[in-house]
């Protein structure tokens, strides 16, 4: 644990209590990041920054506020904390705003989550530039003469955060993140200029794909969009590509949050223990996934992390209920939000599944769209490729799917064996039957 951060957080708690806070919670975030992008074989943007921020949550006279500052000098913090408490006392009362019962801090797991790269300090400026240059060169080489532009980028950061509360909670988290990708625009028929991309995100550099692979994948995905056409409206099986599943899954997850339930904005509020999807759908929230981008031992409230099955074989099992909304709802708290979401993979490859389905649409991206967490109604634009007998063919563009989530997820027929690992949501490609794909 960073002793300097620990001492400052402890001092800030004591200052807040002596200045009139009934209870308080203090967090200090220290982050260093580097961001680089290249375009036309030269740097387009280079940014490096180190930041430290202190945020404090004040509970005073039945009132609450959260405030932050980047001036961590003790003289400045004394004034900041005093002002935070004074302004908090001017707000309206909220009897539900308290620190959690300390019993929910208990049982915290003790394990190495593998979210810190010990070699982060060896990642040199020269290596960063070489990686991004290689991504751009690979993108250009693989995309060919139709290229209009390529933007390649890399980002990395190292973060430390300490969280401390006046009722005894103490927690520390240290992590690293690496991200790299490319975005390519190509010339199509007429004035169409499809744009595609590829990216990867990991907590350790050694787990990243090669820059050449990232560039080649970006080119492949972009060229697959050439000749995209709107087809006639048809009821077809569709496969949503693994890395794009989170976009459609979000409409099912949002109603599972305490805020939406309490505010009557959840079509799942009364569905716990009931079937809300096909038996093919299981969603696990696993905060202990080694190397997971969302791995953690505690959440924003300090609640000890637990592995939970949110949906099991289509049956809704859990909600995400933070401390505040647990008090407003009169429910037990679970967690303020998801950590690593995992849909267990199936046994068959996309190729095998496509061959058996015959004809359908492979969705590789979404455009716009909306999802109503109160009713479950959703509509979203899609693009991708038509497939027939296992082979990808005509590019599909400017089409739309519209449905209600409670109906749509019942159509989930199979889960592929290809989980996308470069995300907090480890989702395989999903197969849905009898989906109305709207076009002309």
pLDDT at 247: 95
- The rounded distance, in Å, linking the Cα atoms of 386 and 236 is 10
- Express each pLDDT in 308-367 by its tens digit: 999 999 999 999 999 999 999 999 999 999 999 999 999 999 999 999 998 999 999 999
| Average confidence score pLDDT of the chain | 96
Does 191 have pLDDT greater than 90? Answer: no
Given this model, what pLDDT does residue 193 score?
A: 94
Q: Please state, in angstroms and rounded to a whole number, the distance separating the CA atoms of residues 265 and 251.
A: 12
Spell out the SS3 assignment of the chain: CCHHHHHHHHHHHHHHHHCCCCEEEEEEEEEEEEEEEEECCEEEEEEEEEEEEEEEEEEECCEEEEEEECCCCHHHHHHHHHHHHHHHCCCCCCCCCCCCCHHHHCCCCCCCCCCCCCCHHHCCHHHHHHHHHHHHHHHHHHHHHHEEEEEEEEEEEEEEEEEEECCCCEEEEEEEEEEEEEEEEECCCCCCCCEEEEEEEECCHHHCCCHHHHHHHHHHHHHCCCCCECCCCEEEEEEECHHHHHHHHHHHHHHHEHHHHHCCCCCCCCCCCCECCCCCCCEEECCCCCCCCCCCCECCCCCECCCEEEEECCEECCCECCHHHHHHHCCCCCCCCCCCEECCCCCCCHHHHHHHHCEEEEEEEEEEEEECCCCCEEEEEEEEEEEECCEEEEEEEEEEEEEEHHHHHHHEEEECCCCCCCCCEECCCEEEEEEEEECC
Tell me the whole-structure pTM to 2 decimals. Answer: 0.95
Residue 117 pLDDT exceeds 80: yes
> Which residues have a Cβ under 8 Å from the Cβ of 427 and sit 6 or more positions away?
242, 243, 245, 246, 249, 341, 343, 419, 420
pLDDT of residue 1: 73
Q: In the beta sheet, which residues pair with residue 320?
A: 257
Tokens of 255: 């109603």
Instruction: State pLDDT tens for residues 5-28.
Output: 999 999 999 999 999 999 999 999
Please enumerate in sequence order all residues whose Cβ is within 8 A of that of 122, keeping only pairs 6 or more positions apart, or say none: none
pLDDT at residue 390, as a whole number = 84
Contact between residue 295 and residue 341 where contact means Cβ atoms under 8 Å apart: no
Write out pLDDT tens, residues 301-314: 999 999 999 999 99
Residue 373 pLDDT greater than 80, yes or no:
yes
| pLDDT at 389 > cutoff 90 | no
Residue in this structure with the two tokens 């794009």, named with its chain if needed: 244
Report the pLDDT value the prediction gives residue 2, as an integer from 0 to 100. 83
Q: Kindly indicate the confidence band of residue 414, based on its pLDDT and cuts at 50, 70 and 90.
A: very high
HSE-up of residue 387 (Cα within 13 Å, Cβ side) = 26
Look at residue 371 and tell me whether its pLDDT is greater than 90: yes
Indicate whether 440 pLDDT > 80. no
Instruction: Give the model's confidence band at 407: pLDDT under 50 very low, under 70 low, under 90 confident, else very high.
Output: very high
If we measure between CA atoms, which residue out of 343, 365, 424 comes closest to residue 238?
365
Give 113's contacts (C-beta < 8 A, 6+ positions apart).
288, 289, 290, 291, 292, 295, 296, 297
CA separation for the pair 321, 331 (Å, rounded):
8
The pLDDT score that the predictor gives to residue 243 is 97
* Residues whose CB falls within 8 Å of the CB of residue 213, separated by 6 or more in sequence, listed in order: 138
Compute the average pLDDT of residues 126-146. 97
Q: pLDDT per residue over 154-186, tens digit each?
A: 999 999 999 999 999 999 999 999 999 999 999
Residue in 156, 165, 283 with CA at minimum distance from that of residue 208: 156
Orientation of helix 211-223 relative to helix 125-143, angle to 10°: 30
Query: What are 42-90's pLDDT values in tens digits?
Result: 999 999 999 999 999 999 999 999 999 999 999 999 999 999 999 999 9
Q: Is the pLDDT of residue 391 over 80?
A: yes
Of 271, 273, 255, nearest in space to 263 by CA:
255
Q: Is the pLDDT of residue 411 over 90?
A: yes
């Amino acid at each position: 644990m960073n002793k300097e951060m620990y001492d400052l957080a402890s001092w800030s708690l004591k200052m807040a209590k002596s200045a009139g806070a009934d209870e308080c919670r203090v967090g200090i975030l220290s982050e260093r990041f580097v961001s680089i992008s290249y375009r036309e074989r030269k740097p387009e943007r280079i940014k490096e920054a180190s930041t430290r921020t202190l945020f404090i949550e004040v509970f005073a006279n039945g009132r609450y506020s959260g405030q932050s500052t980047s001036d961590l000098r003790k003289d400045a913090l004394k004034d900041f904390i005093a002002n935070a408490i004074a302004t908090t006392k001017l707000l309206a009362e909220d009897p539900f705003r308290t620190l959690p019962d300390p019993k929910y801090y208990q049982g915290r797991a003790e394990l190495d989550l593998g979210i810190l790269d010990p070699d982060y300090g060896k990642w040199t400026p020269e290596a960063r530039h070489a990686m991004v240059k290689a991504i751009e060169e690979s993108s250009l080489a693989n995309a060919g003469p139709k290229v209009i532009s390529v933007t390649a980028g890399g980002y990395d950061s190292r973060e430390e955060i300490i969280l401390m509360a006046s009722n005894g909670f103490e927690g520390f988290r240290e992590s690293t993140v690496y991200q790299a990708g490319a975005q390519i625009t190509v010339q199509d028929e007429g004035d169409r200029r499809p744009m595609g991309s590829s990216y990867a995100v990991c907590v350790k550099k050694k787990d990243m794909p090669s820059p050449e692979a990232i560039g080649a994948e970006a080119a492949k995905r972009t060229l697959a969009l050439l000749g995209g056409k709107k087809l006639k409206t048809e009821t077809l099986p569709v496969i949503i590509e693994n890395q794009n599943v989170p976009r459609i899954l979000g409409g099912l997850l949002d109603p599972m949050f305490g805020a939406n339930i309490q505010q009557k904005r959840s079509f799942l509020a009364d569905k716990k223990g009931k079937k809300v999807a096909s038996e093919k759908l299981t969603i696990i929230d696993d905060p202990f996934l080694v190397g997971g981008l969302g791995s953690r031992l505690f959440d924003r409230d300090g609640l000890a992390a637990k592995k939970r099955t949110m949906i099991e074989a289509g049956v809704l099992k859990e909600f995400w209920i933070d401390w505040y909304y647990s008090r407003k709802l009169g429910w037990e708290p679970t967690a303020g939000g998801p950590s690593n979401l995992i849909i267990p993979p199936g046994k068959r490859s996309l190729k095998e599944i496509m061959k058996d389905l015959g004809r359908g649409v492979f969705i590789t991206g979404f455009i716009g769209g909306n999802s109503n967490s109160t009713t479950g109604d959703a509509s979203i634009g899609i693009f991708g490729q038509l497939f027939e007998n296992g082979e990808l063919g005509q590019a599909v563009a400017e089409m739309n799917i519209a449905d209600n989530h409670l109906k749509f997820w019942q159509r989930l027929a199979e889960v592929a064996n290809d989980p996308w690992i470069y995300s907090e949501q480890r989702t395989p490609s999903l197969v849905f039957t009898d989906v109305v794909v709207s076009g002309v």
